[in-house]
Amino acid sequence: MIQGIGVDVVDLARFARQIDRTPALLPRLFAESEQALPVHSLAARFAAKEALIKALGHSGTLTWRDMEIGSDAHGNPGFLTAGALGAALRARGIARVHVTMTHDAGVACAFVVAEADS
């Protein structure tokens, strides 16, 4: 059963300017494993984190770094649900989180679905 959905878009040029202007944003917004990615991938991950907050209804006590995104063996993205994020999902009765991200024509976009078992 779907518990929530979220979508977000990020202007790539604006995002790149913000990162260039304020380098301290990288460690604030992204887990260590995400920080070395190219700017279009960072923007898509930022959009995914925003979309997750929308799907959950609010961020609660989660930090940006708690919402880490990794890839499976096939390159498919997914939120890493250990630690604080996993605890927050369990507390809300969410069993699975689906995420898709894309970037094209100067925009990054992400869509998230939070799903419960019943």
Amino acid letter for position 67: M
Tokens (6 digits) for 82: 């250990």
CATH of the domain at 82: 3.90.470.20
Given a contact cutoff of 8 angstroms between Cβ atoms, the answer to whether 52 and 94 are in contact is no
* CA–CA separation, 85 and 92 (whole Å): 11
Question: Span 72-78, mean pLDDT?
Answer: 94
Question: Span 29-55, mean pLDDT?
Answer: 97
Question: Span 88-102, mean pLDDT?
Answer: 96
Q: Is the pLDDT of residue 17 over 80?
A: yes
> What Å distances lie between residue 56 and 3, 65, 68, CA to CA?
8, 16, 15
* CA–CA separation, 44 and 39 (whole Å): 9
In this predicted structure, what is the pLDDT of residue 82?
Answer: 86
* CA–CA separation, 21 and 57 (whole Å): 30
Which residues, including other chains, have CB under 8 Å from residue 30's CB and lie 6 or more apart?
37, 42, 45, 64, 65, 68
Domain count, the chain: 1
Tokens (6 digits) for 76: 């498919």
In this predicted structure, what is the pLDDT of residue 118?
Answer: 75
Sign of the alpha-carbon torsion through 59, 70, 44, 110:
negative
Question: Span 12-28, mean pLDDT?
Answer: 97
Give the structural domain span for 99: 2-115
In this predicted structure, what is the pLDDT of residue 93?
Answer: 94
pTM of the model: 0.95
